[in-house]
Amino acid sequence: MILAFNKPYGVLSQFTREAPHHRTLAEFGFPSGVYPVGRLDADSEGLLLLSDEKTLVDRLLNPANRHPRTYWSQVEGIPSAADLLPLERGGLSIRGYRTLPCRVSLMNREPDVPPRNPPVRYRAAIPTSWLELTLVEGKNRQVRRMTAAIGFPTLRLLRAGIGGFPLDGLEPGSWKELTPRERRELMP
């Protein structure tokens, strides 16, 4: 079984509570025996998969498989194409790790996503923009560290897709079991 979950802001990608101020996956009524496939930190939102299939988990998480993950990152400022080149080329040094190349583009408009609660801070003097990034690796807080390294800190981060499966249609806090067609989208 593979479940797609739209993880809200402030929810940990685990079932046990370590800190009293964070919500966990335990409150969303998942079937027993499923576990998160990867992680999204508490201040990130979007698509999180859960499964009870160990071989699937390995296929999705093993770095050798280079399984793509797409993120939408709201950043401070408006980067130019030249600003984004270090992300596309790869090789950024983040905590002693050199990033692989990724696909990145400035989105033409803000994605159609519900407002975050609490809202992202607003500063009239600093515009924001949205980037779409597709990575084939998943280090801790990697997208945030990558955008900060090029001078455009991430304010809001959503995982919009995994493989060919998009988050579309799931409201924050809701989940569904993937159909056979959706499973195939997940593994392009």
Rg of the chain in Å (alpha carbons): 16
Active-site residue flag, 168: no
Would you say 44 and 159 are in contact if contact means Cβ atoms under 8 Å apart? Answer: yes
What span, in angstroms and rounded, lies between the C-alpha atoms of 103 and 91? 13
- 160 vs 38: CA distance, rounded Å: 14
Q: Which residue carries 């897709």 as its tokens?
A: 161
Count of CB atoms situated within 10 Å of the CB of 107:
13
β-pairing, 175-177 with 2-7?
Answer: antiparallel
Kindly list the catalytic residues: 41
